[in-house]
Structure 1
Amino acid sequence: MSLLGFLWWGSIVLGAAALAWMVWLITARLVRARRDARLGLDQARMRRLFLEIMDGHVEAARQLNGPSRRARLTAEAILDIAGLVRGHERERLTSALAGLGVEDRLRRRLRRGSRAGRIAAAEALAVFPNPANAAALRQALAVARDPEFRVAALNALLALDQAPPLWDLLADVSSRGLQDSLLYESVVRAMVARSPEQALTVFRDPAASVVMRTIVADALGRSGDYRAVPALMAAFPEADLELRIACIRALGVLAHPAAEPAVIAGLSDQAWEVRAASAEAAGRIGLVSAAPLLVQALADGVWWVRFRSGEALSALGEKGVASLRLAAGVDQDVVRRAASLALAERGVSA
């Protein structure tokens, strides 16, 4: 075959392959669109039956018997409705669904099928306050490796008041690394908010790892419990950078004036991340005594520290604004720019 013929047949093959690929994509899209439309209709029908059950229509429960055998569809419909109703209507719905064996199907769905379906089943089981559901969630949690499913199971156990001890959860998260711990952030914060005393016990425990204490420090700040201030201040001088950052940020979120010594010390820390977090905390707490150090920080070698310091000064009221105006008139270009930017963001001229 000549070169021209080879190129000719090659172009034909490539064109046919491209055409076949486009046909496959269009067909797949049409199939998916039809499937999604059918799923939407089924979900709407199931939600309507749920509403009729809550209104006391017995016949609706009989009509629900067939569709309720689809565990994922049922779980997603339960999640849509359960968050909107409380009291007798919710009890009537859960009782009817339990009578149809929905709980059993959801428990089985925890161990098989797609990840999205298993997550929906775990979240839906939180609606049914049944010890068997809590046991199934704990069993699934013990063998699960997918972080998103684990978080869904933990949230369900938390809703059922059957969450594992905070120490066990933190030890597990710590073993998986700090990066994965971000997925568990909401669960840990909810557990700490429910029991700050337990969290403080874990935070002060010498056996707790740095990762565990770092996660707890963030949650203690979000808890709003001022009893955490002394513990966070005591832990702040420690060597680990992530823990120091977490402690100073938590103190800033708590915004208690008693944190002043730690914030003042943090403004002179060797790590720029700590200096930036300390400047932000000073602004949150309203530490006017930190104004001179914040003005000095406007000359910091790291832009983020200068920015946070300018923000903090602008949050300190008249004294902070006056300090920024003075800084905006100095000969040092870096300080002048940082102060002018902070004043401009506040809507005040230099």
Structure 2
Amino acid sequence: MSGLLLIWSTSVVLAAVALLWMIGLIVARTWRERGEVRRRDDLHLIQQVFLDVMNGSGDAVGRLQHVKHRARLMAESLLEVIALVRGAERERLISALAAFGVDEIFCRRLSRGSVAGRIASAEALSIFPGDRTREALRRAVAGARTGELRVSLMRSLIEIDAPPALREVLADLGGRKASESLLYLPLIARLVADDTMTALKAFGDPQVAGEARVVLAEALGASGDYRALRPLCIAARAPDIELRIASIRALGALGHPAAEPTILTGLQDRIWIVRSASCEAAGRIGLISAMPRLEEQLDDPQWWVRFRAGEALAALGTAGHQRLRAVAISGGDLSRRTASMVLAERELAAAA
């Protein structure tokens, strides 16, 4: 009898738990739907106020009093509108919002709430340059933890002509995960473009972390400044594999033929990724002298090296096309298949 009572009691408890669970789901869904309705209403109000202000209704901005707590929503809406308008309408909107104190709302939002909201507020603050904005962004950088937020804050500082020091950004980059370090590349590229000499000094400093030097190499290549040529050629022979790869890719981006000896050496590197990057760089620079070695790479054990070598030969114009056609006819098994594939992709097979 006690066994049956236990089963019955357990069933009642399970049924009660299931009922409470369902009620919880219903309440959560209802709450979420109401939140979405409120968000749509607030978004419509914000957008309408922005339109009215741009059309000359200066007092319309007072209606934002009801949505001052929706800093993220206002920031995202403002960024969308600012990206679309120019001239007097843009200035009218910015002036009205600044007078209303929207920038103060965004400044306060930098230190609380979700990361996404903080990022939106940081980006929106770039529209309101000034001492208050600069100080708020710098304080937020000091307290931010996630890489995405820190990059957004520093990007806004650049937008308001108060950029962080390159050394500071490089130190911040040190120790970051690879996925986070990629976030810093556009930021560092802008700083490098503005002050290449400082970047070159940092690139040659052995105290700078390896991850930072890798990102610096890519940024120097994108800068188009030929003063980076020699340091990159030296770094392309460094023991650090990632630095070798980044430097060779940067040399390809620079496109200067003086990088020829370094690229030819890279084509024989023991690391296949370095060989692949060297093939790509040879094609981008247009190194005709690299054709014999590129043809040899069509037999490389690694598929990516073979493919990049074929792409490089195809990029070298008529002479490269002739090499590919010759290999497609009389090369070894691997090289013949690679050459044929590249010719077909470039629609050159018909002329073979």
TM superposition score normalised by structure 2: 0.90
- The one-character-per-residue Cα deviations of 1:19-62 (angstroms, maximum 9, x if unpaired) are 76566445534532332233123112212211221222123122
SS of the residue corresponding to residue 341 of structure 2 reads helix
Shift of 1:296: 0.3
Call closer, same or farther: CA 1:4–1:342 in 2, change over 3 Å.
farther
Q: How many Å separate the matches in 2 of 1:159 and 1:192?
A: 15
Instruction: Please name the residue that 1:257 is paired with.
Output: 257
Instruction: Please name the residue that 1:205 is paired with.
Output: 205
Shift of 1:170: 0.5
Instruction: Please name the residue that 2:276 is paired with.
Output: 276
| Structure 1 residues 214-233: aligned runs within 5 Å | 214-233=214-233
Structure 1 range deviating more: 167-176 or 300-309: 167-176
Instruction: Please name the residue that 1:113 is paired with.
Output: 113
- The one-character-per-residue Cα deviations of 1:70-104 (angstroms, maximum 9, x if unpaired) are 32222222212222233433332222222222222
Q: Is the 8 A contact 1:69 1:102 kept in 2?
A: no
Q: How many Å separate the matches in 2 of 1:25 and 1:261?
A: 67
- The one-character-per-residue Cα deviations of 1:115-149 (angstroms, maximum 9, x if unpaired) are 22111111111110111111111111112111121
| Structure 1 residues 165-180: aligned runs within 5 Å | 165-180=165-180
Call closer, same or farther: CA 1:25–1:293 in 2, change over 3 Å.
farther
TM superposition score normalised by structure 1: 0.90
Instruction: Please name the residue that 1:151 is paired with.
Output: 151
Q: Is the 8 A contact 2:58 2:96 kept in 1?
A: no
Structure 2 unaligned segments of length 5 or more: list them.
Answer: none
Structure 1 range deviating more: 8-17 or 27-36: 8-17
Instruction: Please name the residue that 1:243 is paired with.
Output: 243
Call closer, same or farther: CA 1:341–1:125 in 2, change over 3 Å.
same
Call closer, same or farther: CA 1:2–1:175 in 2, change over 3 Å.
same
Q: How many residues align?
A: 350
- The one-character-per-residue Cα deviations of 1:297-347 (angstroms, maximum 9, x if unpaired) are 011111111111111111112211211122123362122221122122112
Instruction: Please name the residue that 2:61 is paired with.
Output: 61
Q: How many Å separate the matches in 2 of 1:243 and 1:308?
A: 19
Superposition RMSD on alpha carbons, in Å? 2.5
- One-letter identity of the residue aligned with 2:79: L
Q: How many Å separate the matches in 1 of 2:119 and 2:229?
A: 37
Q: How many Å separate the matches in 2 of 1:319 and 1:163?
A: 47
Shift of 1:191: 1.7
| Structure 1 residues 12-31: aligned runs within 5 Å | 21=21, 24-25=24-25, 27-31=27-31
Q: How many Å separate the matches in 2 of 1:18 and 1:303?
A: 56
Instruction: Please name the residue that 1:297 is paired with.
Output: 297
Q: Is the 8 A contact 1:65 1:100 kept in 2?
A: no
Q: How many Å separate the matches in 1 of 2:101 and 2:336?
A: 70
Identical counterparts, % of pairs = 50
Structure 1 range deviating more: 28-37 or 306-315: 28-37
Q: How many Å separate the matches in 1 of 2:178 and 2:297?
A: 30
Instruction: Please name the residue that 2:327 is paired with.
Output: 327
Structure 1 unaligned segments of length 5 or more: list them.
Answer: none
Structure 1 range deviating more: 53-62 or 120-129: 53-62
- One-letter identity of the residue aligned with 1:280: E
SS of the residue corresponding to residue 65 of structure 1 reads helix
Instruction: Please name the residue that 1:193 is paired with.
Output: 193
Q: Is the 8 A contact 1:68 1:100 kept in 2?
A: no
Q: Is the 8 A contact 2:148 2:180 kept in 1?
A: no
